[in-house]
């Protein structure tokens, strides 16, 4: 079972992913986490002549050639498909990435890969996302608390089409409406947790919490 966690940097994807991991593991499920940022970081480290990336503050990096973002998503699907098999049927692959154009981003995956998945999109206002990024860089709690430069934040992640994700997935890829959930995540995790748990309960067939 695949679950995409989508949203711009600072929207809370990693926080929600950690909550879902704890919530489902408590019920005996096995969780595998996949993120395109790890793939992009490896590509950045291999780009020693800085043709496609440049070094940013706080050990971060900026993408100079957007083609690498498409390649990263293609590699992400391969990584998920090639991940070790599990002895449990109760398994979730959590797939996390951010893009400003999800209509284009979804084209980097195979149709089957998308149609077999569930999706959560985290909708968060720009100023709140910027504040969260600054806070996580000042006080990192995990490797997911990476820096996003002002250049990337303003030029690439200034706006996105995330609110159209349900229409894109149901209209173009034929997903059932219940498999796609948009959540206002401007508040704390506690504000979103009921909706998150309800969606996961439906997806996994848990009894209502």
d(CA 159, CA 145): 21
Residue 32 lies in a domain: yes
Residue 50 lies in a domain: no
Residue 54 lies in a domain: no
Helix (H, G, I), strand (E, B) or coil at 180: strand
Domain span at residue 13?
2-36+67-204
Instruction: Using DSSP bridges, classify how beta strands 117-123 and 91-97 pair: parallel, antiparallel or unpaired.
Output: unpaired
Residue 51 lies in a domain: no
Instruction: Give mean pLDDT, residues 110-137.
Output: 92
- The torsion of the CA quartet 148, 150, 135, 50, rounded to 10 degrees, works out to 30
Q: pLDDT class for 165, splitting at 50, 70, 90?
A: very high
Residue 151 lies in a domain: yes
Q: What is the pLDDT of residues 2-12, one digit of tens each?
A: 999 999 988 99
What pLDDT is recorded for position 145?
65
Residue 48 lies in a domain: no
Instruction: Give mean pLDDT, residues 146-150.
Output: 78
CB 140 within 8 A of CB 15: no
Q: pLDDT class for 46, splitting at 50, 70, 90?
A: very high
Higher pLDDT, 2 or 126: 2
Residue 61 lies in a domain: no
- pTM exceeding 0.85: yes
How confident is the prediction for the chain on average, in pLDDT? 91
State how many domains the chain has.
Answer: 1
d(CA 31, CA 29): 7
Residue 58 lies in a domain: no
Q: pLDDT class for 139, splitting at 50, 70, 90?
A: confident
Q: pLDDT class for 159, splitting at 50, 70, 90?
A: confident
Q: What is the pLDDT of residues 48-97, one digit of tens each?
A: 999 999 998 888 899 999 999 999 999 999 999 999 877 767 999 999 99
Q: Is the pLDDT of residue 137 over 90?
A: no
Instruction: Using DSSP bridges, classify how beta strands 53-55 and 61-63 pair: parallel, antiparallel or unpaired.
Output: antiparallel
* CATH number of the domain where residue 124 is located: 3.40.50.300
């Amino acid at each position: 079972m695949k679950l995409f966690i989508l949203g711009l940097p600072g929207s809370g994807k990693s926080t929600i992913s950690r909550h879902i991991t704890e919530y489902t593991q408590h019920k005996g499920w096995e969780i595998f986490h996949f993120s395109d940022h790890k793939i992009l970081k490896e590509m950045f480290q291999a780009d020693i002549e800085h043709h496609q990336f440049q070094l940013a503050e706080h050990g971060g990096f900026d993408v100079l050639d957007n083609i690498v973002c498409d390649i990263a998503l293609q590699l992400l699907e391969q990584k998920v498909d090639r991940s070790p098999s599990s002895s449990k049927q109760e398994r979730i692959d959590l797939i996390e990435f951010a893009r400003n154009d999800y209509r284009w981003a979804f084209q980097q995956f195979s149709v089957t890969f998308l149609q077999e998945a569930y999706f959560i999109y985290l909708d968060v206002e720009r100023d709140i996302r910027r504040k969260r990024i600054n806070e996580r860089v000042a006080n990192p709690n995990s490797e997911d608390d990476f820096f996003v430069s002002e250049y990337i934040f303003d030029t690439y992640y200034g706006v996105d089409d995330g609110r159209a994700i349900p229409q894109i997935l149901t209209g173009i890829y034929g997903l059932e409406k219940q498999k796609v959930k948009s959540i206002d995540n401007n508040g704390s995790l506690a504000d979103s947790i009921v909706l998150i748990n309800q969606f996961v309960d439906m997806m996994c067939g848990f009894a209502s919490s």
